[in-house]
């Protein structure tokens, strides 16, 4: 059970932070290679970060503090259905089939229970902002998922910032009700989404989608090229449509696995086009590595990750997110962004420049989703951050850290009493504050 205790005012000494994710804090012992620096700061009576205080002090002994997480791509409406659907025998299309077969079970009561569980886990693990995709075959105003999301967004206001994307087939732009669909998405303060499998994207469809998005003031978030087909050209057509239309909203493209199957020259040309169009790319390593090149009783040969390093080098903002949790697209996980970061660093070899990559995972997620108030530790803002029993990146990324301390508006939460090897429990540092 999560325990909470008021912990303000108090001064925290010798906290190790990513320097690029702080504003207004005194920094020293800054290591350019790791991007980490030591700082000390206070939590004032309002639960805000303050640069100095006469309050009691706690020496953090160089432990790492990160801003609360931004999870920019999840599927709350599908979470935890794996025990109903079973595992996919094949890849993405088989997972889609299992998910569609389960759709009849998604009553408002069922959705509310599972989506609430997902929010509770994300909140406990230290996330402060979430963008979820919601399957929207019906009109949003008639959707149980959107009704539940709207309730939960109100219920969680002040604790979790929530956005929703109306995920639908791209071909819906050709229906007569698409304008009304976009109007309803805008009324929900939502984002226009589209699933773009290989062969479904056309210039006409995409130009139409961006025209409606501009008309109703909507940002756009795609599932695109989620395959290992080198000929998949959805991302390229999206970039060309953005450039052709001059669309000014935010455009996000998730997955983009097929980019890794292109030749070096073709990939470089596409990266340049995506950069020119200003598209944000989200890599989803858990579901992509689970589903791509998947077949029964056969070891996968191909990885299914997009070209994170090449995109970044070409000026495209890239970050990573959770995607699916305990559903046929990925039957594991618990909405823990630390787990996602650990996987991303290891699988995409981000360790070679980890001091820059991890801050960019925060800043790029905030930019892609407009969660501008999240993902930084800032003097004068709410004291929302996470302290870990680790003093360097290796220590942080080698353990699940079930004993992390999550601070929300200066109030400390504890996930549990597990200790990292060779270190005291974090609770011991705060013993005087716990009853």
pLDDT in tens, 164-193: 999 999 999 999 999 999 999 999 999 999
Banded pLDDT at 412 (limits 50, 70, 90): confident
Banded pLDDT at 424 (limits 50, 70, 90): low
Mean pLDDT confidence for 95-106? 97
pLDDT in tens, 236-255: 999 999 999 999 999 999 99
H/E segment holding residue 420? none
Return the HEC string of the chain.
Answer: CCEEEECCCEEEEEEEEEHHHEECCCEEEEECCCCEEEEEEEECCCCEEECCCCCCEEECCCCEEEECEEEEEECCCCCCCHHHHCCCCCCHHHHHHHHHHHHHHCCHHHHHHHHHHHHHHHHHHCEEEEEEEEECCCCHHHCHHHHHHHHHHHHCCCCCEEEEEEECEHHHHHCCCHHHHHHHHHHCCCEEEEEECCCCCCHHHHHHHHHHHHHCCCCEEEEECCCCCCCCCHHHHHHHHHHHHCCCCCEEEEECHHHHHCCHHHHHHHHHHHHHHCCEEEECHHHHHHHCCCECCECCCCCCCCCHHHHHHCCCCEEECCECCCECCECCCCCCHHHHHHHHHHHCCHHHHHHHHHHHHHHHHHHHHCCCCCCCEECCCECCEEECCCCCHHHHHCCCCCCCEEEECCEEEECCCCCCCCCCCHHHHCHHHCC
pLDDT in tens, 303-335: 899 999 999 999 999 999 999 999 999 999 999
The overall average pLDDT reported for the chain is: 93
pTM of the model: 0.93
The CATH class for the domain spanning 3-67+376-433 reads mainly beta
- Eight-state DSSP code of residue 157: T
* Whether 310 is catalytic: no
Domain locations along the chain: 3-67+376-433, 69-368
Q: Is the pLDDT of residue 415 over 60?
A: no
pLDDT in tens, 252-269: 999 999 999 999 999 999
pLDDT at 303: 87
Mean pLDDT confidence for 124-132? 98
Tell me which of 82 and 433 has the higher pLDDT.
Answer: 82
pLDDT in tens, 332-389: 999 999 999 999 999 999 999 999 999 999 999 999 999 999 999 999 999 999 999 9
316 Rama class: left (phi>0) / alpha (psi -120 to 50) / beta:
beta
| Catalytic-role residue among 113, 138, 171, 226 | 226
Mean pLDDT confidence for 386-401? 96
pLDDT at 416: 45
pLDDT in tens, 50-100: 986 777 889 999 999 999 999 999 999 999 999 999 999 999 999 999 999
Q: Do domains 3-67+376-433 and 69-368 have the same CATH topology?
A: no
**In percent, how much of the chain has pLDDT > 90?**
88
| CATH code, 69-368 | 3.20.20.140
Q: Is the pLDDT of residue 129 over 70?
A: yes
């Amino acid at each position: 059970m999560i325990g909470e205790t008021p912990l303000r005012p108090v001064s925290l000494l010798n906290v190790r932070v990513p320097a690029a994710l702080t504003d207004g804090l005194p920094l020293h012992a800054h290591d350019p290679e790791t991007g980490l620096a030591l700082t000390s700061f206070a939590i004032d009576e309002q639960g805000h970060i303050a640069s100095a205080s006469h309050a009691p002090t706690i020496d953090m002994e160089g432990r790492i503090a990160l801003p609360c997480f931004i999870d920019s791509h999840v599927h709350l409406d599908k979470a935890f259905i794996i025990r109903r659907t079973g595992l996919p025998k094949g890849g993405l299309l088989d997972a889609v089939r299992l998910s569609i077969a389960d759709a009849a079970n998604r009553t408002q009561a069922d959705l509310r229970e599972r989506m609430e569980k997902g929010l509770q886990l994300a909140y406990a693990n230290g996330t402060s902002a979430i963008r979820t995709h919601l399957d929207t075959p019906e009109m949003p105003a008639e959707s149980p998922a959107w009704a539940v999301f709207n309730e939960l967004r109100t219920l969680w206001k002040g604790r979790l910032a929530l956005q929703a994307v109306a995920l639908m087939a791209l071909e819906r732009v050709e229906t007569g009700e698409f304008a009304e669909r976009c109007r309803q998405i805008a009324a929900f303060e939502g984002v226009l989404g589209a699933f773009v499998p290989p062969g479904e994207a056309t210039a006409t469809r995409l130009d139409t989608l961006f025209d409606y998005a501009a008309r109703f003031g909507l940002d756009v978030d795609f599932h695109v090229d989620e395959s290992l087909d080198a000929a998949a050209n959805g991302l390229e057509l999206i970039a060309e449509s953005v450039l052709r239309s001059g669309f000014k909203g935010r455009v996000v493209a998730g997955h983009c696995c097929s980019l890794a199957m292109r030749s070096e020259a073709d990939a470089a040309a596409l990266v340049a086009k995506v950069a020119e169009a200003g598209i944000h790319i989200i890599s989803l390593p858990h579901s992509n590595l689970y589903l791509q090149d998947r077949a029964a009783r056969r070891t996968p040969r191909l990885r299914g990750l997009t070209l994170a390093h090449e995109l970044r080098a070409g000026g495209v903002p890239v970050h990573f997110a959770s995607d699916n949790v305990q559903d046929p697209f990925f039957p594991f996980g618990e909405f823990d962004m630390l787990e996602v970061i650990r996987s991303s660093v290891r699988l995409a070899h981000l360790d070679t420049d980890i001091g820059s990559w991890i801050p960019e995972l925060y800043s790029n997620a905030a930019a892609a989703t407009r969660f501008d108030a999240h993902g930084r530790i800032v003097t004068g803002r709410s004291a929302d951050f996470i302290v870990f029993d680790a003093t360097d990146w290796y220590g942080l990324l080698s353990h699940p850290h079930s004993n992390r301390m999550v601070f929300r508006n200066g109030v400390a939460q504890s996930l549990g009493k597990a200790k990292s090897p060779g270190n005291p429990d974090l609770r011991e540092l705060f013993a005087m504050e716990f009853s």
